[in-house]
Amino acid sequence: MSKAFTKESDGADEDDDSGGLPPLPAGTKNYITPAGYARLRAELLELIDVERPKVVDVVHWAASNGDRSENGDYLYGKKRLREIDRRIRFLTKRLDIAEVADPSAHHGNDQIFFGATVTYATSKGEERTITIKGVDEVDHLAGEVSWVSPIARALLKAREGDEVTLSTPGGVETLEVLEVRYPAPAAG
């Protein structure tokens, strides 16, 4: 059987280094907190220094076993290497353009900037708390949103007590900023 019919796709996903993350808007900086930068850098170093060498060893061992066309260790290993290399390229690009912004510089401020933890009330009286972080470090389950998200853009530069409007698919909603917090500066 022709290799063209058995090989897994290397096409579009090979060029997609995003790791499932949204692209940055054109002309914007890739803001990230110091902790987020450290986490991405640690992941990159782990991939380069630990994971990739292990997979290379497995692929080398599997290749020495002969027929590669039906060798699961070889085929899976090559696929995993492509995934690791794609993630390494993505992390390298994102770290190269990262602009580290320390939110503790705004500690005690009541105006919303990057890194703020904001408690706001919706027009229905529901209170919500979010933290505005970088595109590459958000954890939606922990109440973190990207600084380029619609909610963050609506809140940025507002102060405690301000009302802002947020355009949603259900219409325009008014939000009242109840509290703005920043992490305390590191003792040093």
CB atoms within 10 A of CB 63: 14
pLDDT bucket at 126, cuts 50 / 70 / 90: very high
CATH code, residues 12-100 = 1.10.287.180
pLDDT digits (tens, 9 = 90+) for 151-161: 999 999 999 99
Q: Tell me, what amino acid is at 63? A: A
Does CATH place domain 103-181 in 3.30.300.30? no
pLDDT bucket at 28, cuts 50 / 70 / 90: confident
Q: CATH 3.10.50.30 residue ranges in the chain?
A: 103-181
User: What was the pLDDT predicted at 62?
Assistant: 87
Share of the chain above pLDDT 90, in %: 67
**136 contacts 21 by C-beta, under 8 angstroms:** yes
Average pLDDT over residues 35-44: 96
User: 167 has which bridge partners?
Assistant: 172
Average pLDDT over the chain, rounded to an integer: 86
CB atoms within 10 A of CB 174: 11
User: What was the pLDDT predicted at 63?
Assistant: 87
Phi, psi of 163 (to 5 degrees): -110, 135
User: What was the pLDDT predicted at 6?
Assistant: 47
Least confident of 53-62, 85-94, 110-119, 179-188: 179-188
Q: Tell me, what amino acid is at 99? A: E
pLDDT digits (tens, 9 = 90+) for 77-123: 999 999 999 999 999 999 999 999 999 999 889 999 999 999 999 98
User: 176 has which bridge partners?
Assistant: 121, 163
Within the chain, residue ranges assigned H as helices are 3-6, 12-15, 34-46, 52-63, 72-96, 150-155
**58 contacts 4 by C-beta, under 8 angstroms:** no
User: What was the pLDDT predicted at 20?
Assistant: 54
Whether 8 shows a pLDDT value over 90: the answer reads no
Whether 188 shows a pLDDT value over 70: the answer reads no
User: What was the pLDDT predicted at 24?
Assistant: 72
Its pTM surpasses 0.85? no
Q: CATH 1.10.287.180 residue ranges in the chain?
A: 12-100
**58 contacts 73 by C-beta, under 8 angstroms:** yes
